[in-house]
Amino acid sequence: MQRIGVFVCHCGSNIAATVDVKKVVEIVRNEPGVVHAEDYQYMCSEAGQALIAKAIAEKNLSGIVVCSCSPRMHEATFRKAAERAGLNPYMVEIANIREHCSWIHKNVEEATEKAVILARAAIAKVNLNAPLKAGESRVTKRALVIGGGIAGIQTALDIADAGYEVDIVEKTPSIGGRMSQLDKTFPTLDCSACILTPKMVEAAAHEKITIYTYSEVEKVSGFVGDFTVDIRKKARSVDMDKCTGCGVCQEKCPSKKTPSEFNRGLGNRSAIYTPFAQAIPNVPVIDRDACIKFKTGKCGICSKVCQAGAIDYEQKDEIVTEKYGAIVVATGFDTIKLDKYDEYAYNQSKDVITSLELERVMNAAGPTKGHLERLSDGKHPKNIVFIQCVGSRCSDDRGKPYCSKICCMYTAKHAMLIRDKYPDVNVTVFYIDVRTPGKNFDEFYRRAVEDYGVNYIKGQVGKVAPQPDGSLLVQGVDLLDNKQILMEADMVVLATVIEPDPSVRKIATMLTASIDTNNFLTESHAKLRPVESPTAGVFLSGVCQGPKDIPETVAQAGAAAVKAIGLLAKDKLLTNPCTAKPDELLCNGCSACANVCPYGAITYETKLINDHGIREERRVAQVNNALCQGCGACTVTCPSGAMDLQGFSNRQIIAEVDAICR
């Protein structure tokens, strides 16, 4: 028989306001096995933990139940406290009477009754608990960063500077990401390439960093400290070692009609291409869907002009398998397609563009060489209208429910840059709210209004109507004046909602990392673990976790790096002892458990079994404790009840259910 102590926490008024904790103590005192019960205002405090230690020593407790908040909050705290007092940490159970009880109920009587029931279940379980010992697993001292934008680059640099090997996997031909497409950055208006390129070069030159561009993560197995990852290096059709990056192949390539992804489709690129001048690596790829050689067998001009003999039409995709201790996701974002928003005539007029497209128009390396021009006729615009929140803050099925966070600032930036360079251009911004929290951000926006004369109108645009003369008639509303406005414009710029890069869904599935309804990766705790995924060993960097600007992204990238470094710095990790364990006497070797195991932790072995005096060779299941994650799929699949989960045995679970139903 166990000697159990029950500790009921008030959590200030969080629990005590809804649950009569004194009553809970009095009732559970009489439960089987309970030799001690008490309550305290903050059980997690040092004084509270001391109470637990004291009771363990004085009452010679063999197990404890803490009735408090979610085990996600403080299970580790109480296990450590018990361990310090000489108790096996797995003899501690938490009854969650806060999230599962006091926070969701209003009626004290009902909540108290439920708290008692939850406590009873935990007590019933502890009665059957046995001490468990955590195993150890090794840590591979290498990190994987998925995505080579500013988030991925910064994370990789920080990890590498701490002395660990890092691999960056980037699906496009170059690292650089969205930031490489930007012209200037807020709130300082420095040139994006000027501050990004040095980081790209630094990453490429770093002896601890290996960059896989034009590559994708294909398969992930293993667990924290010991992931095994397959990376598909897509066939570049160019030998990276031989290519000198001279660029002649791109000049001579006769297939030049493919819309440039880098210029957001506003200009064309050749079939063999590097996305932009500062690309890293400066080695082109052949887009086989656009290449005449690949489509017809004829051509081969690039191969003929290449002095280095680097063109390789026979090159095949290659799979690289590598082991990692930590994985950082930095897959970034894209803007949504505007197909459902054609009241703005995006698909009907070339002069209606997104803000990201405007970045390319404003950029010296962009389709207009940095001159502000209408894309329809190359004319200099006189009136430009910006429309904010296109697809942001929408609860309909066209857009997204969240604020994209960056648009108010980049629109102020665009407006200011245009007014600065072209004082003859009138700039109007239709907004719902101007949101500028951030250091020097509101000042920045006010400068656009006060110093640059940008016309901000509170209200939305209902329709953009292209006119026969090529202009755009913008029908909007000024809510502060309560007037409908008809305004002629030469260009309309849409601040389009951003969304996580669509590739993140596949990545999240491979990593078993959870994503929310908007495809943003979920953090382990919104406030206290903002860069950790709930999946151990997986960290989050940049917009894949939620909308953010460059400074925030860089800060988060550093934070994710620190968390990864903290993991890599350990030689060994304690493994969860709550793993599956087969009863070899009951196992009939049917393989059902191995078939459902998501971690490949179950194998079979033929061994001599002594079954009540009958000695025979049998095929029985074996569990690799390092691989088993304790999900329990095998235990419910096993037809003979041979498989059990340590710490969550069938008997323990049934005892809990019985206690609840009593």
Residues that bind other proteins (CB under 8 A): 339-343, 345, 347-348, 389, 393-399, 432, 458-468, 473, 475-477, 479, 482, 484
Q: How far is the CB of 350 from other proteins (least distance, A)?
A: 14
What whole-number distance in Å separates Cα of residue 501 and Cα of residue 330? 10
Q: Name the minimum Å distance from CB 27 to other proteins.
A: 43
Q: Are 342 and 348 in contact (CB under 8 A)?
A: yes
Nearer to other proteins (CB atom), residue 78 or residue 431: 431
Can you tell me which residue has the tokens 């940049």? Answer: 542
Q: How far apart are CA 602 and CA 598, in angstroms?
A: 10
Separation CA 404–CA 497 (nearest Å): 6
Nearer to other proteins (CB atom), residue 266 or residue 461: 461
Find how far residue 527's CA is from the centre of its chain: 15
> Whose Cβ is closer to other proteins: residue 52's or residue 338's?
338
Report the candidate in 437, 346, 445, 360 with the shortest Cα–Cα distance to residue 390. Answer: 346
Residue 395 CB, nearest distance to other proteins (Å)?
5
CB of residue 479 vs other proteins: minimum separation in angstroms? 5
- 309/401 with CB nearer other proteins: 401
- Using CA atoms, how far residue 287 sits from 232, 237, 331, 473, in Å, is 16, 9, 22, 40
β-bridge partners, 95: 67
- Token look-up 């630094």 returns 202
What minimum distance in Å lies between the beta carbon of 384 and other proteins? 18
CA distance 462 to 523: 37
Q: Tokens for 600? A: 């490949």
Query: Is 140 or 392 the residue whose CB approaches other proteins more closely?
Result: 392
C-beta of 347 vs 595, nearer to other proteins:
347
- Judged by CB, which is closer to other proteins: 475, or 622? 475
**For residues 357 and 360, what is the distance between their CA atoms, to the nearest angstrom?**
5
Give min distance, CB of 339 to other proteins, in A. Answer: 7
* C-alpha distances in Å from residue 316, one per residue of 134, 229, 231, 242, 313: 45, 19, 14, 16, 9
352-354 vs 333-335, strand pairing mode: unpaired
Closest contact distance (angstroms) between CB of 354 and other proteins is 16
Q: Closer CB to other proteins, residue 307 or residue 348? A: 348
Mapped onto helix, strand or coil, the DSSP state of residue 561 is helix
Q: What is the DSSP letter of 363?
A: S
Residues sharing a CB contact under 8 Å with residue 253, sequence separation 6 or more, in sequence order: 270, 271, 272, 273, 301, 302
Cis before 187 (ω within 30): yes
Q: Are strands 135-138 and 572-575 parallel, antiparallel or unpaired?
A: antiparallel
| Min separation Cβ 296 and other proteins, Å | 29
H-run or E-run covering 335: strand 333-335
Q: Is 567 helix (H, G, I), strand (E, B) or coil?
A: helix
Distance (Å) of CA 649 to CA 72, 92, 181: 20, 15, 55
Nearer residue to other proteins within complex by CB, 402 or 648: 402
Looking up tokens 């960097």 gives: 541
> Cβ 397 to other proteins, closest distance in Å?
7
Label each residue of 374-423 as H, E or C.
CCCCCCCCCEEEEEEEECCCCCCCCCCCCCCCCHHHHHHHHHHHHHHHCC
Q: Report the nearest approach of other proteins to the CB of residue 320 (Å).
A: 44
Shortest reach from residue 356's CB to other proteins, in Å: 21
Whole-number minimum distance, CB 48 to other proteins, in Å?
A: 42
Output 309 or 462, the one with its CB closest to other proteins. 462
Give the shortest CB-378-to-other proteins separation in angstroms: 21
Residue 653 phi/psi, 5-degree rounding, is -65, -45
What gap in Å lies between CA 205 and CA 41, rounded to an integer? Answer: 56
**Considering beta carbons, is residue 207 or 339 the nearer one to other proteins?**
339
Nearer to other proteins, 459 or 537 (CB): 459
Tokens of 431: 């907004």
Contact 96, 69 (CB under 8 A): yes
Which residue lies nearer to other proteins by CB, 177 or 476?
A: 476
| Shortest spacing between CB 355 and other proteins, in angstroms | 18
Q: Are strands 165-169 and 643-645 parallel, antiparallel or unpaired?
A: unpaired
Kindly tell me which of 358 and 389 has the beta carbon lying closer to other proteins.
389
* Distance in Å from the first CA to the final CA of the chain: 20
CB 476 to other proteins: min, Å: 5
A 10 A CB-CB count for 640 gives: 14
Q: Which is nearer to other proteins, 311 or 497 (CB)?
A: 497
CB 156 within 8 A of CB 166: yes
